[in-house]
Amino acid sequence: MHPQRYLLKFYYIGKKKYHGSQRQHRVLTIEDCIIKALKEKCYINTIESSGFEVASRTDKLVSARGAVFSVTTEKRPILMEINTALPREIGIWAHATVPTNFLSRFNALQRHYKYIMPIIGLKKYKNIDFKLMQKACDILIGTHNFSNFAKKDNSVSLNKRTIDSIKMRITSDFLIFDFKSRAFLRQQIRRMLKKILELGVGDITYSDFLELFDSSKSISYQPLRPDGLILWDIIYPENIKFKVDKKSKERMLSFFSEQEEKFVLKNFLFKLLRSHNNY
């Protein structure tokens, strides 16, 4: 079989043992596991010869539902075969054929992230101004210099990005944000949300928030915690058709169900312990 380039869609859970998604020296990452599985199942020999590339990088403890990597191989992908060489918290569930020169990172049209914030963590604040938080979301949409909303990175020369949309949704248990853009700066979403939350609880004023758009000033602060962030999906041109593998999808959903049951029980345990505090 002649070499063919593929896009493969995969999920992962950002456990503590993984130092983010991107390959690094002497520490375990999500990419390390995928590359090892591809080599073990004889899909690639080396990273260089296969043109292996991941479309989006995430920090430690960040998870993904629809991450994507591209690879060139002579072997037609059988996703469950690759998945047998992966831990349960990582799995490939769809693939598409693409032209030889297709790059998963630079040919992506849009990246969609979700951030999940538990309402219980906000109960210590009184009178949260959700309308003002929504106003902040709205003003972030469009093209801006986001240098004060991102981690300082000397390898990035241009800090302008265009945000397509930001949506905020409130449920009984969570505050859920959806961010869509072709590309984000490092920690951009978590830093934007840090300031949106500070604005909502009254720690900063709206004028303070607007000051962050002034790139002549350097404003330092820590981002929100990473474990609430999920790389939800990556969008490609309409002619790229992903085929979902039924067994791989079942494997993924089965793992999600098991984890959901595990954490629902643990969540209820602590809720029960907290409610009976008459010691």
For 89, what's the count of Cα atoms within 13 Å in the CB-facing half-sphere?
16
Indicate if 245 and 217 belong to the same structural domain: no
Q: What is the pTM assigned to this prediction?
A: 0.93
Active site residues: 59
Domains identified in the chain, total number: 2
| CATH number of the domain within which 254 lies | 3.30.70.580
pLDDT band of 103, cuts 50, 70, 90: very high
pLDDT digits (tens, 9 = 90+) for 213-269: 999 999 999 999 999 999 999 999 999 999 999 999 999 999 999 999 988 888 888
Average pLDDT value over all residues in the chain: 94
Examine residue 272 and state whether it is found in any structural domain, yes or no.
no
* Pairing label, strands 110-118, 174-181: antiparallel
Indicate if 54 and 131 belong to the same structural domain: no
pLDDT digits (tens, 9 = 90+) for 149-184: 999 877 666 899 999 999 999 998 899 999 999 999
Indicate if 158 and 71 belong to the same structural domain: no
Q: For tokens 């693939």, name the residue.
A: 95
pLDDT digits (tens, 9 = 90+) for 26-66: 999 999 999 999 999 999 999 999 999 999 999 999 999 99
Q: Cα-flanking dihedrals φ and ψ of residue 152, to 5°?
A: -60, 130
Contact 69, 53 (CB under 8 A): yes
Nearest to 55 by CA among 105, 3, 119: 105
33: left (phi over 0), alpha (psi -120 to 50) or beta: alpha
Contact 204, 198 (CB under 8 A): yes
